A = this chain, B = another copy of it.
Amino acid sequence: VSIIGSGNVAQHLAKAFENSSDVELLQVYSRNKSDLQHLPFAAKVTDNPNGLHAADLYVIAVSDSAIRSVAESLPFEGRLVVHTSGSVALSELDAKNRRGVLYPLQTFSKKRKIDFGQVPLCLETEDPNDSVLLEKAARAISGSIFSMDSQQRKAMHVAAVFASNFTNHLYALAADLCEKYSVPFEILQPLIIETASKISELPPLQAQTGPALRNDLPTIDAHLAMLPDDNFKMIYKTLTQSIQQWQKATKN
């Protein structure tokens, strides 16, 4: 397997393949060779596209907008090439190579260690014959493999925006409230972890609690009065209303 790219996902994937005993990390291609010099696989990094050797699988781990041009610029044909994006269609890859997708559904930061063996990998191949090869490579680095088409992968990506990006923004709003009222945000951390952990046992619809669910109007009004600006109030009202709509729909 060779990796193309030098960002967070490229680095985590390269490390995972380098540590795997079933698959060999052949090369890592990056125009910015120096970005990767501190990593254990530094000796395998090349910045010469024509220096890419024949691999069974090439993984393009670059930003969504660069996938098309990187795939077009590859100086070979007929090989299996996959990208790692949740929202880009398989068809964005140049058809001169066999095409697929390996989308790791996780949030990667340079500062956080991730146990890659637990990261769900969403796989897609254009040719069913390639699915065996892609699955073998994926299983070498993760115990959590799912096959899905481009439409399903895009739906997962939207769901991930709700469950991760938007959730993180709510944490940021909570942290801001804590700062404004001079209470430490750390107090909320056990609650945040328990809320996230709970849904592995209880479907989130059943796990719902709080004033919106109870239609506790005095508390809702008291909360709105404490919120510092219209943006906070808008989000509070929108989510409270949505919780109440859902509860109604579930009861019916």
Which of A16-24, A48-56, A74-82, A162-170 touches B? A162-170
Query: In the complex the two chains form, what is the Cα distance from A117 to B31 in whole Å?
Result: 51
Let me know if A191 and B231 touch, CB within 8 A: no
Given contacts A235-B239, A246-B172, contact A164 B226 (CB under 8 A): no
How would residues 140 to 177 of chain A score, 1 for a CB under 8 Å from any chain B CB and 0 otherwise?
00001010100110111111111111111111111101
CB-nearest residue of chain B relative to A115? B190
Which of A35-43, A94-102, A130-138, A212-220 touches B? A212-220
A66 within 8 A of B: no
Which of the residues B105, B188, B231 comes within 8 Å of A160, measured between beta carbons?
B188
Given contacts A188-B105, A188-B163, contact A169 B235 (CB under 8 A): no
Chain B residues positioned under 8 Å from A151 (CB to CB): 181
A34 within 8 A of B: no
Let me know if B205 and A172 touch, CB within 8 A: yes
Let me know if B156 and A163 touch, CB within 8 A: no
Which of the residues B158, B169, B174 comes within 8 Å of A208, measured between beta carbons?
B169
Let me know if B190 and A120 touch, CB within 8 A: yes
Let me know if A64 and B216 touch, CB within 8 A: yes
How would residues 209 to 233 of chain A score, 1 for a CB under 8 Å from any chain B CB and 0 otherwise?
1111100100100110011000100
Q: So how many copies of this chain end up in the complex?
A: 2
Let me know if B161 and A198 touch, CB within 8 A: no
Which of the residues B107, B157, B192, B235 comes within 8 Å of A194, measured between beta carbons?
B107
Query: In the complex the two chains form, what is the Cα distance from A202 to B20 in whole Å?
Result: 29
A32 within 8 A of B: no
How would residues 101 to 113 of chain A score, 1 for a CB under 8 Å from any chain B CB and 0 otherwise?
0000111010110
Let me know if B187 and A163 touch, CB within 8 A: no
A70 within 8 A of B: no
Given contacts A109-B207, A187-B105, A226-B158, contact A167 B165 (CB under 8 A): no
Which of the residues B105, B111, B161, B199 comes within 8 Å of A202, measured between beta carbons?
B111
Query: In the complex the two chains form, what is the Cα distance from A38 to B219 in whole Å?
Result: 33
Which of the residues B112, B152, B165 comes within 8 Å of A181, measured between beta carbons?
B152
A-B contact pairs, 8 of them (CB 8 A): A87-B222, A106-B190, A111-B202, A119-B190, A162-B174, A168-B204, A234-B238, A235-B239
List the 7 closest pairs (A to B, CB-CB), nearest first. Answer: A165-B210, A155-B181, A196-B196, A171-B204, A172-B204, A163-B174, A159-B174
